[in-house]
Every structure is written in C-alpha cells, then in structure tokens.
Structure 1
C-alpha cells in the first residue's frame, strides 16, 4: 500500500466564481480498504458549476469538482476483495457515509441520516477536504467504488455516475415501464439519459423542452413525442395524460402548469435543483391526488444496477470530449445549453 500522501495534478477553482486553473492537490495514502484509481475521464455536471460558484451555499476552496469519474485501478489496499489492479471502475457523487443508519443499511447511502460524504466540496471522516475527478488520481474506499461493465467504454460511462443514476433512480422507484407514460423536462445532460433509460425500460416517453430545436435528437434517443413548453397548447393537449414527469432542469418552473399534466396519482419528480425557491398552489396536488417529489442519486447497489442496465442496453452518454484547458469554456457553454449532451474531460490532458 502507498504509505505516503500523493501530490497529483488537478484543476481547481481557487475561490467562488474564479476560473478553474491547473494546480497540485494532496491525496491521502492508500489504506487497507482503499482503491487508488488512475482517472481516465471526468464528466462535467451542472452541479459542478453551481458549487464552484457558491450557487448552493458556501463552498470549500480550493475546490476540485467532478463526480462523474471513470478510470482504472492502479493499486488496492491489503483488505480489498472486490477489485484488482487493472479493473475498470467508476466513482460517483459520494465517497463515504456513516454505514450504520437505517438508510445506509438499506442501501440508501445517498440519504444517509448523518449526511453522506460527497466526492468533492466536503470533509472526510478525518476532517480533510475531498477533491473530485478533475484530477489524474483519486483514492476511494472500495465500498464506494463501482465496476464499469466491459460493454461500456470509459468515456461514455463517466457521465452515468451522476446523470445516469440521477435519472435511473426515480424512473425505477416510480415504476417507469410498459404501459406508463413518462415525460422528461429538459433534454440536457440529465434529460438525454432519462430519455434513453425510460425508453429502455419500456415506457412511452415524451420530451418537454423550451423549443423544438432538439426534437430530432430526442426522437433518435428514444422519445415517442416531443413538445415545446413555450407553447401553451402543449399544456392543454397533454393535460391529465401523464403518469410520471421527471424534471431535469435547474431553473424554477411554473409547477401548477406542469402538475396539471399528471393523471390522478401521477408524480412530478425533481432531479434538477434550482438555486431559487419555487412556489405552487396546493390545489394542484389535492385535486388529483398528485405527488410533488424530489430524488437524489442512487445508493451504491442501485448505481451498479444502473451501470449493468446501461451496458445491457448499450446506453452510454452522448458526449463531447474536451481537454482540461477547455473546462472554463465548457462551463459557459453548459450555462448557454450549448452541449449535446455532456462534456467529458480527458484526464490525460490535466
């Protein structure tokens, strides 16, 4: 085992809102239950931008974002049993939890009662700041390391560690499948995976987007229908017709209009997280016994299930591969919705 801390190259935001720049960070020694991973690819998630710019509250700086990590095992600790050097692995949004609460014992580490430890912008159990995947190496406990199936190339697998599981989890929980009408709000990094996964699950899939400019893409990815939400006729035409709506957008929506799309007992589930508060008229829920819900990522077991499902159905992310010196430009393009559909950093360029 590596007994010493390691200095590795990374890209970090030195302060809230500051451009990311190349730097060197310290990784902890490889412990008995740890896996040392050579990062090959790291996806850029909109939540990286929120956190690097203090959009969700005060962050820990310098901050190395990145929780869509795909790589290869370089070293394993003495007690590691699930992985060997050379294995293809992934790391998602969390790297530890209390492991003792009811949720953790149920495989719901993402809802750990003590709060899970995030891959970056958090403190580990030793009080050290965590640093994410915009780096060349990372040390992770094997219990929070995922196996990437051979059927997925590492570059298109990386975004599955957040975008894939964030959409798979609610689709599975609310039973998307044959006979269910599912709508996805927004065709971006999360939305395009929601469409692919819901289609593979057998649901009838509708995309609700601000415009029709991505309609051809949406239909190609598996949508059966595609509507513009800027057209009020959309809400009239689809009123009371949907079983499940999954919103992937990170801007406030007119919730009453969207809740009106649901059948009785339908659910509107938020996976996008706006920085601003939202409001609604509770009669939008009461009159149709509808549900307004939220969903985070998945637990480790469910994340592995998602990876296996995506490999079985050939569901890699649609990506644009970039070099590390393009990260700041990529952030601006994400904010402008100018990516189809996920930026992935080639960690070899860090």
Structure 2
C-alpha cells in the first residue's frame, strides 16, 4: 500500500452480490488545509452499512466502502488545523464528515441538520467526490468531525459509540433523560442495548421493550429496571401515563404500534425515533392520540454530543456488548450475513486492520 496516494478498503463492487464485498484501492478526496488523515484500527458494523450495501435506501454507489463507527490514529494533519490534534493520537469518526460550519444550525450544535451535510460514506462533497467509509486502511476527514477518544475506553468498545451510541444518546440528552425521569427504550438490539446502558448511566429509571421474552435477561443485565414483552396481550395495561421519554431503536417501524406507546406517555412526554427503515415503510397512528404528546425523529449526534457521551461513558464505566470480527472480505461477509439474521449480541466490531491493510509505520 502506498500512503497517502491510495487508500484500501472492503467495498461493495457488485450491488447484486453485496454480501460478498471485495478489497479495492481508491483515491481519497483531495487533502484540505483543515483535514486529518486517520489510520483505522477498528470499525463498528452498523445496520446502516447493510441497508446501504443492499441498496435499500437507493442504489449503492459503485465500489462503495461503508462504515461510520471508526477508531484510529492520526497520521497527517492539515496546515490550518486548529483543534490541537496530534500525530499518533487515538481518535474517532462517526456518521458525518463535513458541513458548512457557518450556518445557524452548525453554530448551534446541529451540524447533522446542515444543508451541506456530508455523510461518512455515500455522501457527496461540494467537489463531487463520493465519501468512502471506515472498512478501510485510512479515512480523510475535516478536523471538526474528528473526536479525541479518552484513554479509559478500549478501542473496540469505543467504535460503536461513534454512530450507534451517539444516535441513541442525542435524543436522550436533548429530551431530558436523567434522575427522576422514566425512559423507555423500544427495541433491544445493537443500538437499543446501548440506549439502556446510557439512559441508566444518565440516572433514569429505564423501561425496556421488546417483542418477546427472549431478551428479558439481557435487558436486566444491561441495567433496565423494567421489561415488557410487547407481543404479549395487554402488556401496556398498567403503564398508562408512565413514561417521560421513549426512544424507538427498532430497525423497522412496521411492527411498532404507536397508538399503544402514546397511551403510556405522560402529558408533555416525547417519543423520539432513531429508526431509518426501508424507504417503503410508513407510520400509522391516530392523529387525535397525539394531543399533549410530541413525536419526532432524531438524526445521529454532533461532535459535541459525542464528547459529552464519552464523558458519561468514562464516568460510569459503561461497557457495550460486542463481538469482534477480523476485517477483510471474509470477515465483512460473515458480519453482514449474521447481522441480516439478527445473530449478534449486540454489535459487531471489525478489527485487525493493520494485518489486513498493513501500516505506513
């Protein structure tokens, strides 16, 4: 591998054969004065990766490298970088790599809602370059979206926090999760299990919701105070007017009966979804049920949100549940195939990047 002229990655080369990605070399975007180059050490596997690879959100670009839960070390710093990052420093990158940084949204800690938002992969830069993600040797990112990782958090446990953790943490943070609040986490999977851990660390009384009984033990081990199997008739009969906040973490909204969840919210309460399902899905609910309740959708987290989350993770020694898989054609195929079957407790993390891609050191 020649660095920095070419990066390497594990990419979807043929859309029809997306479960069998291939190793490719590609040109990174042009290096900017405020860019940081990162040699990748680990990358979490997010449901967004398989949705993108399988073209569920639209056609996957040719030779697309996905992955936006990235941990690595700084290997190159632009001449006008001002954030104090150092060569060799361990850092993270989440689901966003660029925004204008000048609009009101960007200046008010809402960079993910900037009209110039560029996602970590498939995003299109102003010059037309299509962003490549973290199943790769390196990534090139504007310094604003590069997050220092505290020494206390192991690399493999930090990776899924960059997107999955931040995505569930942000609606918790922005909707008052904390002591004396009753917070529901709906859907106990890769993101939902982090929701339980983080809501509990923030001091809330946590209610976990899943369709069956099979995740009860895990939910309680993660720190939930209550568990409800929503596939059971009458599960909600004793919960009227209970929750201050509920976060929907399920990958699909088709099976979510919002009318039932609205009934268990307190007046003034909020239901926030972080789900980005198949484009064909639609929400169904009775409008009059919403009187006194708000419902919305939250998009990832900002750099400041992520830094706040990492402080809480360190303070409370939060440890997410992961399975490690070596990066490479075989490893990515295994992780994606198992993720499609729901066969993971609860987040895959790709590792052994130096073995697969080598190192310039």
TM-score (norm 2): 0.92
Q: State the SS of the aligned residue for 2:183.
A: strand
8 Å Cα contact 1:5/1:29 also seen in 2 = no
Deviations 1:175-202 (A, max 9, x none): 0111111110111111011101100111
Shift of residue 207 of structure 1? 0.6
Quote how far apart the aligned CAs of 1:134 are.
Answer: 0.3
Flag structure 1 segments of 5+ consecutive residues without an equivalent: none
Aligned to 1:86, the other structure's residue is in SS state coil
Q: Distance in 2 between matches of 1:25 and 1:66?
A: 16
Q: Provide structure 2 residue ranges, at least 5 long, that are not aligned to the other structure.
A: 357-361
Q: 1:348 is matched with which residue?
A: 354
Contact 1:60 1:122 survives alignment (8 Å): no
What does residue 41 of structure 1 align with?
A: 42
**Matches of 1:232 and 1:21, distance apart in 2:** 46
Question: 1:1-350 to 2 correspondence within 5 Å?
Answer: 6-17=5-16, 18=18, 19-81=20-82, 82-112=84-114, 114-252=115-253, 253-275=256-278, 276-286=281-291, 289-324=292-327, 325-346=330-351, 347-350=353-356
Q: Closer, same or farther in 2 for the Cα pair 1:259/1:38, shift >3 Å?
A: same
Q: Output the aligned Cα RMSD.
A: 1.6
Length-normalised TM-score, structure 1: 0.94
The 10-residue stretch of structure 1 (70-79 or 10-19) with the greater mean CA deviation from structure 2:
10-19
Q: Structure 1 pair 349/212, CA: closer, same or farther in 2 (3 Å)?
A: farther
Q: C-alpha distance in 1, partners of 2:271/2:226?
A: 18
1:86-141 deviation per Cα after TM superposition (whole angstroms, max 9, x unaligned): 111000001000112110111210011x2410100111122111100000111111
2:181 and 2:355 map into 1 onto residues whose CA distance is 44
Deviation at 1:228, TM superposition (A): 0.6
SS in 1 for 2:192: helix
Q: CA deviation at 1:258?
A: 1.8
Deviation at residue 5 of structure 1 after TM alignment: 5.3
Q: Which moves more between the two structures, 323-332 or 64-73?
A: 323-332
Alpha-carbon separation, structure 1, partners of 2:203 and 2:166: 17
Q: Tell me if the contact between 1:75 and 1:85 (Cα under 8 Å) persists in the aligned partners.
A: yes
Give, in whole Å, the separation in 2 of the partners of 1:198 and 1:263: 18
Name the SS of the counterpart of 1:199 in structure 2: helix
Q: CA deviation at 1:171?
A: 0.4
Query: How many Å apart are 1:271 and its aligned residue?
Result: 0.5
TM superposition shift of 1:343: 0.3
Q: Contact conserved, 2:197 with 2:320, CA < 8 A, in 1?
A: no
1:115-172: CA deviation from partner (whole Å, max 9, x where unpaired): 4101001111221111000001111111110010111011100000001110111001
- Aligned residue pairs, count: 345
Once residues 229 and 80 of structure 1 are traced to their aligned partners in structure 2, the CA distance between those partners, rounded to angstroms, is 50
- Paired with 1:15 and 1:124, the residues of 2 have a C-alpha distance of 23
Contact 1:30 1:76 in 2 (8 A): no
